[in-house]
Structures are given as structure tokens and as C-alpha cells.
Amino acid sequence: MAEKKYQKLLSADVDSELVDLFLTQADERGYKKKRALAAATKLWVELPVEIQGQFINQSLNANSFLILVQGIVDERIEKGYADGKKFLAKRQKRKRPRKD
């Protein structure tokens, strides 16, 4: 298959059980394998280097990855909550009571 100008071939030897699981899931869910691999690659490059390192040395399994994602989500929710409280506090300060 010819590569498009904006695409490059990415290839690697991967554990056969993992490949079989990936192929089965992609087929069952109707995903295009190329798009699923592109999505996984995008996720990889967005991860902090420390987490990439944990994947590389295999100290991060599927369960700990889910816990990690939940932690990131929780942090973002907390930050959003704190930012929202600051916004509301500023808004309340700007409002002046009406003089009747």
C-alpha cells in the first residue's frame, strides 16, 4: 500500500497475544485498525515522560493505567472546581447592592 505524503509507516514487533487481542477487539467493535493505532500513538505522545517510562519498563499495567487516568481526571475536576470558585468570588465582589 502506498503511503500518502502526510503519512509515514510505523512498524514494530509486538507480543503476539497483545496483537491478537487488539485485532479481535478492533474487529468486534468495527474499528479501523489504522485509526486505532493512530489514536494509541497520539495518546502515547501526549503522556508525560514519567508515565511513558512506566510503560516502557512495564511497571504500569492496565489497572494502574486506569487508576492513573482517573487521577488525572480528578485533578482536572478539582482544578476546574477551584477555578470556578475563584470566578464566582470575583463575580460576587463586582456585584454591588442596589440602592433603593
33-69 pLDDT tens trace: 999 999 999 988 988 888 788 778 877 676 777 887 8
CA distance 72 to 49: 15
What's this model's pTM, rounded to 2 decimal places? 0.58
pLDDT at 98 > cutoff 70:
no
CA distance 52 to 61: 12
Packed helices 33-46 and 16-29: angle between N→C axes, nearest 10 degrees: 120
- Residue 97: predicted pLDDT: 64
- Residue 72: predicted pLDDT: 83
Query: Mean pLDDT of all residues in the chain?
Result: 85
- Residue 3: predicted pLDDT: 64
